[in-house]
Amino acid sequence: MTTASTFDVRVVDHPVTRTWLTILRDERTDNSAFRSALSRLSSMLVYEALRDVRVDEIDVRTPVGVAPGARLTAQPVFVPVLRAGLGMLDAALDVVPDARIGFVGVARDEETALPFEYLASLPEDLSQQSVYVLDPMLATGGSLIHTLDLLAARGARDMTAVCVVGAPEGLAALEASDHRLRVVIGAVDDGLDDASFIVPGLGDAGDRQFGPR
């Protein structure tokens, strides 16, 4: 397990991640193509998010000798924030197939933009594990902070948020929260509009994957 410094933001700015993000942003991208592009981009973001994960150094015998190798010291925990984060889960599991999984369901109230929790299905003790929260959107930061509160209440100390796109307001809110957190994100956009949507963003990642609620 690694321990994040207080607050660390890593923007993954790679030509290939930018091409997938462009497809996600494009208003012409339909639900099916959006899900596909989100999955492909998510595997790259999760891969980057795991860069600092702790491994045990082990030797492995090849057909012609012994090579240094590595295995993860502990199972990470992936926590998609429903609904939109579901579209990142399979990609994360492609990176670490035997990860544990927890679920948080949070819907943002359309009037107030405040998070409403409708599901929390999480391992009881997260004190020994690295936890990766999966949510494509970081707007006001309310949903993510609510999720981090749930995780911290179960002992989580090593938490990483994996997001596709965010607003500076959301990052500022995360930094102002008490949580030690690492953020791995595809892009930080200009800001929020009056309805607390990320501008230019990509719309509502839940609706664009699954249709309107």
**DSSP-H helix ranges across the chain:** 15-25, 31-49, 86-95, 142-153, 168-176, 205-210
Shortest-Cβ-distance residue relative to ligand PRP: 206
CA angle, 52 then 186 then 105, to 5°: 85
- Nearest approach in angstroms of CB 33 to ligand PRP is 18
Beta carbons of 79 and 132 less than 8 angstroms apart: yes
Instruction: Write out the residues near ligand PRP by the rule CB under 6 A.
Output: 81-84, 106-108, 113, 115, 135-144, 170, 196, 204-207
Which CB atom, from 27 or from 59, has the smaller least distance to ligand PRP? 27
Scanning the structure block, which residue is given the tokens 């592009």? 37
Which CB atom, from 22 or from 112, has the smaller least distance to ligand PRP? 112
Tally Cβ neighbours within 10 Å of residue 130: 27
- Nearest approach in angstroms of CB 52 to ligand PRP is 24
Which CB atom, from 36 or from 196, has the smaller least distance to ligand PRP? 196
- Nearest approach in angstroms of CB 171 to ligand PRP is 10
Exposure of 139 by Cβ count < 10 A (0-12 exposed, 13-18 middle, 19+ buried)?
buried
- Nearest approach in angstroms of CB 99 to ligand PRP is 20
